[in-house]
Amino acid sequence: MKCHIPGPNVKVLGRTIHALARLGDELYLESLSDCILLRTLNAAESAYAMVKFNKNFFSYFNYNYYCTDDKEGLKCKISMKSALNTFKSPTHMDKQVENLEIKLDADSCKLIFVVKCKHGIVKTHFVSILDCKAMQAVYTKDLVPNRITSPHKILSEAIGNFQNSDDQLTIEAFSNSLIIRNYIDSKTDLTKVIRTQISIKPIEFDSYIIGEETTITFTLKEFRALLAFAEALSLPIQLHFEVTGKPAVFIVHNGSTFEAHFVLATSKPDIPTQETPTQNNSMIDRKRKEVDNTQGTVRKKAHLSIDLSKCLDEDSHLFNFIDIPEDGTEVEKENQTQKVWHTSKIDCDNIPPSPTSKMKLKTIFKRCFESTFDVRSIQGNVLAENSDSE
């Protein structure tokens, strides 16, 4: 296999290598008749990435350059750290690199990267081949009921509100909104963590199709790598997912040049700790009603003739204090309570000022600072004598 990549496309390849390095420690390369495939898998086998570079991505492409007979393309596995050494600074590679040549011989144990820079500088990297095999993941993206296409800025700004300590992310897909929140384990103390939840309306996305409302949870580290890759290339993100337990597929592509698939495993969140605030409030209200129904007879007073709910609705104060009569009270006391309530309500606009002290503090020790003050004029016993000998 032999191919040439022009300078502007070298930057895209460098961004791809750096994005895949945030997922796995090994890079799988496979050359086919019309494209080159790059794959990686994380250590927990919960995240998989595949990037396909089509034939028009290269200025020169020959998948069986070193072979005399027509056969399948070559496959190899290399270390991700070795690949990163070739693409140390992908941000400025388009300004420094004129051409990149990749060579792979079936009889050789090295993958060769020849970087031709400006001013006649040529850098050659020999990367050792660890194994001659390929990797393939089984997933589907075409027959799923839920599909969302979002600009990278929408998701990047949403994820920017989460803490760096958050490990997993939960997405609740509804027909009228998309809720993103951090996942908290049921064993975690809720008083020591920060819960973040963001709701995004369908109008914010380029396309929003939810055929089956569901909730999925996946790792946040790999999702951040995906967002960084899409943001560096200024490309939108497509999300294809089914019910919980099925993998979620994130797609970033540039027309017919290249296409990247990030597949993340999903898990079902714990119900007690992952409910939305609306669900929690409804459950609390339901429990309060049950308690009121069972203990309502105990709380009632026999001679209570004042309607508390009406009083609270009529007055706009934050707190309303009403004297509740006890058992055996007379009707006259209840009428007095009503009179006090109405009079306080009428005079609420003309509240008198707080009383002030008649004696000012600065006049208490006034004699001590007068020039004519004589200590001998003080009558009574002296409790604290002067410390001076005079």
127: pLDDT strictly greater than 50: yes
Q: What percent of the chain is modeled with pLDDT above 70?
A: 67
Residues 20 and 108 occupy one common structural domain? yes
Domain closes at, from 327, 343, 359: 343
Paired tokens of 231: 């943001």
Cα distance between residue 239 and residue 248, in whole Å: 7
Residue 271 maps to a domain: no
Mean pLDDT of 93-105: 86
- pLDDT band for 106, please (50, 70, 90 cuts): confident
- Residue 112 pLDDT: 92
Domain-located, residue 377: no
Of 128, 160, 188, the residue that ends a domain is: 128
Mean pLDDT for the stretch of residues 325-352: 48
* Per-residue pLDDT reduced to its tens digit, 302-333: 443 444 444 434 443 333 444 444 444 444 54
Residue 368 lies in a domain: no
- Reported in sequence order, the residue ranges of the chain that DSSP labels E, i.e. its strands, are 2-6, 26-31, 35-41, 47-54, 60-62, 75-79, 97-104, 110-117, 122-128, 146-150, 168-173, 178-182, 197-200, 207-210, 214-219, 237-241, 248-253, 258-264
CA 42/CA 250 separation, integer angstroms: 16
- Phi, psi torsion values for 180, nearest 5 degrees: -120, 125
Dihedrals φ, ψ of 115, to 5°? -100, 115
Give domain status of residue 42, yes or no: yes
Same domain, 95 and 17: yes
Give residue 218's domain range.
146-264
| Domain-located, residue 257 | yes
CA-nearest of 264, 161, 267, 273 to 221 is 264
* pLDDT tens sequence across 182-230: 888 777 777 778 889 999 999 999 999 999 999 999 999 999 999 999 9
103 and 165 share one domain: no
Q: Which residues contact 191 (CB under 8 A, 6 or more apart)?
A: none
Count of the separate structural domains present in the chain = 3
Residue 255, both tokens: 């027309």
Q: Does 183 map to a domain? A: yes
Least confident stretch, 83-92, 121-130, 192-201, 346-355: 346-355
Most confident of 90-104, 321-335, 343-357: 90-104
Same domain, 123 and 174: no
Q: What is the CATH number of the domain that holds 109?
A: 3.70.10.10
Average pLDDT across the chain, whole number = 77
The answer to which of 31-40, 171-180, 340-349 has the lowest mean pLDDT is 340-349
Domain identity same for 154 and 123: no
- Which pLDDT score, from 0 to 100, does residue 307 have? 46
| Each residue's pLDDT tens digit, 285-302 | 554 555 455 555 444 444
pTM, 2 dp: 0.67
Q: Does residue 241 belong to any structural domain of this protein? A: yes
Query: Does 104 lie in the same domain as 160?
Result: no
Three-state secondary-structure class, residue 30: strand
166 and 117 co-located in one domain:
no
Q: Which long-range contacts (CB under 8 A, 24 or more apart) does 95-99 make?
A: 97/7, 97/10, 98/7, 99/4, 99/5, 99/6, 99/7, 99/10, 99/59
Does 310 map to a domain? yes
Identify whether residues 161 and 114 lie together within a single domain: no
Amino acid (one-letter) located at 59? S
Residue 206's nearest CA partner among 170, 182, 229, 238 is 238
Which of 128, 154, 182 delimits the end of a domain?
A: 128
pLDDT of residue 360: 52
Same domain assignment for residues 153 and 231:
yes
241 and 335 part of one domain:
no
Q: Are residues 212 and 106 part of one domain?
A: no
- How long a stretch of residues is the chain? 390
Residues 58 and 120 in one domain: yes
Residue pair 68/28 in contact (Cβ under 8 Å)? The answer is no
Residue 350 confidence (pLDDT) above 60 = no
